[in-house]
Amino acid sequence: MPMELYEDAPGDVRNATALAAASQFAYYPEDRGIADFQSELGMTAKLISVNNTQAYVAENDNHVLVAFRGSEGPTSLDGLKDWFITNAMNLLIQPNGPLATEFLAAGVGARWHAGFISAITDIWEPLYAAVEEKQKAKERCFWITGHSLGGALALLASWLFLRKTMPPQQIVNFGGPMVGNVVVSEAFNREFGGKIFRYVNSPDPVPLLPMMSVTSNEFIHCDKLMILGDEAQAANLFAYLKDSAGDAASAVLTGSLGEQLWEKVIKGRIVAHLLNDYRALLK
């Protein structure tokens, strides 16, 4: 029997379970993704892919769902360095380009993650057209989800749909990094109060990114955090990485990140970022 979504139950684990499955399917090639959306969620799905940004738009009689594909997780020291370098270089910006007006509407001083802005800009036009077509045919409860990078894109897409007077009913992401500064966070909390649910597996280091920056860190999450696992473990990891951020960033950027940081702090936690771990904890 397909998993169901419950629009009148915000924060319900049944919704998180179904949306984690959708986030998993978003990683799959088109044939498998479409088949799994149908068999596991009872939804007809369409793949939209532009450059390296990918999302599925799925529907049934009661719901429309957008699920963004995330990034591949690092499994080696080189992979970790790539992630940290990318995040260090993608600093907070005042957006420009075709969607600048929409993102600047978050408020004076709003600054967004440059890389995430670029990725959502790539896919926005065909994504919006697909969702608009489905909602015009029959207006239904609208959900947005994603894992890792996909979780960040889910937030940015939610903001853009809001600006198009098509706000999602709920935004649920898993292991997502931060997308902007405090002005951006406050705008999300103001406009989507009670509709955002950020699931974090407590040992997962990715929700603490971007923080290993060459500048002072101004990134911050929006509400609402839904911890899976031990909250104390999450707090300890955050404190360690925050204290180590300056040295680690310098080491990464000079190519001298030590095995000690990798072996003692990060390596054993990378598996906690995988969706399989999230889905197991939700059960």
Give the start-to-end residue ranges of the domains of the chain.
13-282
* Distances 31 to 47, 48, 134, 280 between C-alpha atoms, Å: 9, 13, 21, 25
Instruction: Please state, in angstroms and rounded to a whole number, the distance separating the CA atoms of residues 120 and 268.
Output: 31
- How many Å apart are CA 208 and CA 107, to the nearest integer? 24
> 29-68, pLDDT tens digit by residue?
999 999 999 999 999 999 999 998 999 999 999 999 999 9
As assigned by CATH, the class of the 13-282 domain is alpha beta
Kindly give the residue spans of alpha helices, DSSP state H, lying in the chain: 13-25, 30-41, 77-89, 100-104, 114-137, 149-163, 182-191, 231-253, 259-261, 275-282
Residue 16, helix vs strand vs coil: helix
Decide: helix, strand or coil at residue 117. helix
Residue 224: asked if its preceding bond is cis (omega within 30°), the reply is yes
Say if residue 212's pLDDT is above 70. Answer: no
Give the lowest-confidence range in 83-92, 121-130, 225-234.
83-92
Cβ partners under 8 Å of residue 118, min gap 6: none
> Do the strands 53-59 and 44-50 form a parallel or antiparallel pair, or are they unpaired?
antiparallel
pLDDT over 50 (residue 17): yes
Q: What pLDDT does residue 251 have? A: 47
- What span, in angstroms and rounded, lies between the C-alpha atoms of 15 and 134? 21
The confidence score (pLDDT) of residue 178 equals 87
State the pLDDT confidence band at 214, using cuts at 50, 70 and 90. very low
Most distant CA pair in the chain, distance:
56
d(CA 251, CA 218): 20
Rounded distance between C-alpha atoms, residue 242 and residue 219, angstroms: 12
pTM of the model: 0.88
Looking at residue 1, the DSSP 8-state letter turns out to be: -
Compute the distance between CA of residue 154 and CA of residue 171 in angstroms, rounded to an integer: 7
Model pLDDT, residue 90 = 54
Contact call for residues 111 and 137 (beta carbons, < 8 A): no
Respond yes or no on whether the N-terminal peptide bond of residue 210 is cis (omega within 30° of 0).
Answer: yes
User: pLDDT by residue (tens digit) across 74-124?
Assistant: 555 555 555 554 554 457 888 888 999 999 999 999 999 888 899 999 999
Give the bridge partners for 199, in sequence order: 174, 226
As a whole number of angstroms, the distance between CA 170 and CA 175 comes to 17
Question: Reduced to 3 states, what is the DSSP secondary structure of residue 241?
Answer: helix
Residue 204: DSSP 8-state? -
